[in-house]
Amino acid sequence: MAASDVLVALARSHFHFVMSELQSHLKAMGKVPDEIVLLTLGKMAHSYALQCIPFVGMTLLALRAVLSRVGSGRILCAVCSVLEQWSKGVNTYFGKREQCSFPRKGAAARFSEAIYPVFCYVVENWLDCREEEAKQAVLGAVAAMMSVLLHEEQHREHAWEQLLWLLHQYGEVRDPSRVTKSLSYVLETLEGVQTPVPRGTALAISTAVHRQLSDVTKEPGPAHKAVLSRCVVLQAQMYAEETVAFLRSQLSGGSEAGRVAAVGLLAVLVRSDAPATREKLPQVVEAVGSVCDDPSAQVRRAVLEFIRELLSSVGQSCWAWDVVGHIFTEFSRTSGRLVAGGLFPWETQEDGALRALCMDILGSLDVSLRGMTRLLWPRLLQYVVPAQYSGMLVPLSHCLQALVERRERAGCKEEEEEPDATESQEQAQLPAPQALLARLLVVAAAPYRSGERAVAALQLLQALHGRIHRALGAVWATEVPLLLQYLEGRTESSLDSAEWEHRVLKFLRASLEPIEDKAWTVGLSQELSQQLGSSAPSSWEKLFLHKALGTALAGCQDLRHVQRQVLRFLQETNPVELSEVQGMISVVARAAEEHFHLVLDTVTMFSAALTRDWFYQTSMGWKVKDPGFCLLFLFLAFFPLLRLQQVRQQHTTERAQATCAVLMRTYSGIARHAPKEQLLSHVDKEIMVNILRLSTAKQRASQLKLALVQSITEVSCAIQAVGDCGSFELSLKQEATRTLLDWIKREPCDSLVYGVFQALEELSKLRPPLSREESRKLLSVCCQSVLSCPSKARMNRGRKTVRAAVNMQLLHRRGLEDLGHLMGTLLEAEETSVCFDDMVHVLKGWLTSAKEWERERALHVCAHVLGACKERFELMVSRDPSACPGAPFPR
């Protein structure tokens, strides 16, 4: 090998000298040439193909004389190498005749006549070689000589027969890549010969190549796969229609690997620049469309790779860009429970990979091509609103932003585009501006799930401000960067979701202020309602949409529409579904921020009508002259109807109590969101009075008890949030306190469960102050409910499980703490020590109780009270150093 390389290098400057020496050794009579001679001859033809052309005839003639003496092994391989390289040199000459001085006329016939006898000998004697190396060498020689013989019509039939033999070798050799390289070389030669392959042979080639690509037992490597694909492209240049038809037939059935291979080969055809395959692109795309819904993840991946190839290869063909929709369809299909609102998100590894591929393809779209603005704009914009595509918002946002920038740069100049681009734009179902705003707000409000997605949503909002509403440009130019700056400075661990949601809703409210179009704001509320209907129950998205809808109604100037929406939610909300109740309260309470009187009057009207109907339904009965006879008759004949009537009445009562609870919380929600300057003048006669009226049921259900505590607490906090209330006094404070104390007396355990002490604590901060008698009664009732509970041992004895006993102990401990906080608040509300004296008076009896656990609890409460006294005393001393240290409270 080293000596052969030296001779080839020497031939660069002394070609004829080296070639003459080689020919003399080749013609030596009576023996097979040395291996070095054969190796060097093969390398000479590979390196100096055109210079070797004059020596082709004598070289092949000399080889014919020694073929019969060549055995097997290395010499046979060397001879085959000479035949392969010299045949390829001849083919090189056919393609570059102008660069060679050898006579052109009749060259093909002379070379074919020189090669044909050698070709026949090799075919007859060497095709059945056993050794793998010899098989590979014979393959290369036969394919190269076949390529020369195809230039002459008289030898083509014999050559086609050996092409079928070549395909048969896929099942004979261990390394099929050499077969593929030989096949590719023959097909490349045909491109210059301009002689089509017989249709039967062409079908055999397509079948063999497809079988190699779909063989899962011997999967070809990347290099081999590329050569196989090249074979299909070369064949499609001659038989484009037949090739596409064959591959399409492989898509309609067969194995998964076969369908994957067929889609991959169609993608290769898309990549080809040959005019014949370009004309068949519509049929190619249609063929791949038949397997878009294939259940196999591998086939769907192949389809997506095909789409990537199609979009990167076809610039301005409008029909080709229609496949963009399949990217979103596939993303939605593989998302599964990852669609917004899913409670238990999960995905398989294959689905995750497909979703990532969809996003990668969308992110790699080249929007800089001419005509892309109108071509892509309608296709991409329609996927912003549907919730199932929210996961693709990041690359989608980047594409749309780039398109908006191009449109702005173009100005009034119209871009050149495909003739059907305008028609496609008209047919696209573009989302309404309000739908875009509503959906992007939902995505932006959830930074925990994807901070990058929230940023993309805000950036897209800013880019689309002109499409959403022309009045938003100036506002969003200031507001959006502030939100983005907030996101950039926060991480998932430090971002408070409630605070971020408040900022997004505030942004929505600020966006509605410059819009004076009533119809537009009505449309926004309708769009939010529509998206509410399609959101998953109890999802975060649904809760946010309720808040956003309430904010939109607050900014709506069509008062009739606002009232209709409020009434609709009051009437349609199921009072026993917590998520629906929370959503309704959010809508109604937030609408009251700007329409306080309208919303309050609507709720009051609905509440009065509902409670009146409830009273009528529950108080109606049968009036009969002989009750005894009637009861007997009912018992004997109509007992099932009686039972049904009882069940219905019970259901009606429970639902009515649930509705009352919802209305109570609605009133407190209105108070929480009411304008501060309007709350105080209506809280007594229109809010608190209705809460107390709705709570006057003889048997309070659990939701009614909880609603009463929450409502009183929220209303009290709302009054305190007004700030300087001046001389405002809650006239219903005593009644509310009395209602809670009566509950504590009747049901001390339930009062601990529902946290009545917190409501009393907030009430005690309001004016007017309780009288001394009322304060003593409050302290007495509260201490009685907490301190008189049974001992820990008795509480444990009455519980069926350890968990129930532990829960009871925790509940009682919380009651002690709440009682201490209530007493501390009462001390802060008093300016004299009278309240402290009353507390001591009430606790004195418990401190001297005969029961150890009652004394222990009383001591615990006393410690809390003394701690509150100490804090207050220290605060007074810090404010007034001259205060007497011996007197905790000035009298």
Mean pLDDT of 143-157: 88
Residue 219 has pLDDT above 70, yes or no: yes
Please tell me the predicted confidence (pLDDT) of residue 465.
92
Please tell me the predicted confidence (pLDDT) of residue 609.
84
The DSSP code for 416 is: P
Residue 526 has pLDDT above 50, yes or no: yes
Residue 744 has pLDDT above 80, yes or no: yes
Mean pLDDT of 354-372: 85
List, in sequence order, the alpha helices (H) in 620-701: 627-637, 639-673, 676-679, 689-694
582-596, 617-631, 693-707: range with highest mean pLDDT: 582-596
At residue 522, the 3 state secondary structure works out as helix
Residue 528 has pLDDT above 90, yes or no: yes
Residue 623's pLDDT band (boundaries 50, 70, 90)? very low
Residue 34 has pLDDT above 90, yes or no: no
Mean pLDDT of 808-835: 82
Please tell me the predicted confidence (pLDDT) of residue 108.
79
In this predicted model, what pLDDT tens digit does every residue of 387-426 receive, in sequence order? Answer: 889 889 999 999 999 989 888 877 644 444 444 444 444 4
54-68, 81-95, 427-441, 589-603: range with highest mean pLDDT: 589-603
How far apart, in whole angstroms, are the C-alpha atoms of residue 796 and residue 791?
Answer: 9
Please tell me the predicted confidence (pLDDT) of residue 482.
92
Please tell me the predicted confidence (pLDDT) of residue 416.
43
The first and second tokens of residue 308, run together, are: 């990537």
Contact 525, 595 (CB under 8 A): no
Please tell me the predicted confidence (pLDDT) of residue 421.
43
Please tell me the predicted confidence (pLDDT) of residue 651.
54
List, in sequence order, the alpha helices (H) in 27-152: 35-47, 49-52, 56-66, 74-95, 107-125, 132-149
Please tell me the predicted confidence (pLDDT) of residue 889.
43
CB atoms within 10 A of CB 472: 24
In this predicted model, what pLDDT tens digit does every residue of 423-439 receive, in sequence order? Answer: 444 456 789 999 999 99
More reliable by pLDDT, 750 or 389: 389
Please tell me the predicted confidence (pLDDT) of residue 700.
62
Residue 631 has pLDDT above 90, yes or no: no
Residue 717's pLDDT band (boundaries 50, 70, 90)? very high
Residue 569 has pLDDT above 80, yes or no: yes
Please tell me the predicted confidence (pLDDT) of residue 449.
58
Please tell me the predicted confidence (pLDDT) of residue 644.
45
Please tell me the predicted confidence (pLDDT) of residue 321.
72
Please tell me the predicted confidence (pLDDT) of residue 174.
87
Helix (H) or strand (E) holding 426: helix 421-427
pTM: 0.78
Residues in Cβ contact with 499 at an 8 Å cutoff, skipping those fewer than 6 apart: none
Q: What angle do CA 655, 661, 664 make, to 5 degrees?
A: 145
Contact 448, 495 (CB under 8 A): yes
Residue 880's pLDDT band (boundaries 50, 70, 90)? low
More reliable by pLDDT, 340 or 256: 256
Mean pLDDT of 605-626: 57
127-147 as b/e: b if 16+ CB within 10 A: bebeeeebbbbbbbbbbbbbb
Distances (CA, A) of 327 to 295, 303, 398, 404, 499: 16, 10, 16, 21, 35
Residue 801 has pLDDT above 70, yes or no: no
Residue 338 has pLDDT above 90, yes or no: no
Q: How remote is the C-alpha of 220 from its chain's centroid?
A: 35
Of 118, 201, 120, 215, whose CA–CA distance to 161 is shortest? 201
Residue 549 has pLDDT above 90, yes or no: yes
Residue 62 has pLDDT above 80, yes or no: yes
Residue 878's pLDDT band (boundaries 50, 70, 90)? low
Residue 31 has pLDDT above 50, yes or no: yes
How far apart, in whole angstroms, are the C-alpha atoms of residue 843 and residue 783?
Answer: 8
Residue 622 has pLDDT above 70, yes or no: no
Please tell me the predicted confidence (pLDDT) of residue 268.
92
How far apart, in whole angstroms, are the C-alpha atoms of residue 680 and residue 720?
Answer: 10
382-391, 408-417, 646-655, 825-834: range with highest mean pLDDT: 382-391
In this predicted model, what pLDDT tens digit does every residue of 480-508 receive, in sequence order? Answer: 999 998 888 776 666 788 889 999 999 99
Please tell me the predicted confidence (pLDDT) of residue 802.
62
How far apart, in whole angstroms, are the C-alpha atoms of residue 599 and residue 670?
Answer: 8
Please tell me the predicted confidence (pLDDT) of residue 639.
40
Please tell me the predicted confidence (pLDDT) of residue 796.
67
Please tell me the predicted confidence (pLDDT) of residue 455.
92
The mean pLDDT value of the chain amounts to 83
At residue 129, the 3 state secondary structure works out as coil
Of 530, 322, 329, whose CA–CA distance to 435 is shortest? 530
The first and second tokens of residue 699, run together, are: 């048997």
Among residues of the chain, what percentage have pLDDT more than 90? 41
Work out the burial of residue 795: count CB atoms within 10 Å of its CB; fewer than 13 is exposed, 13-18 middle, 19 or more buried: middle
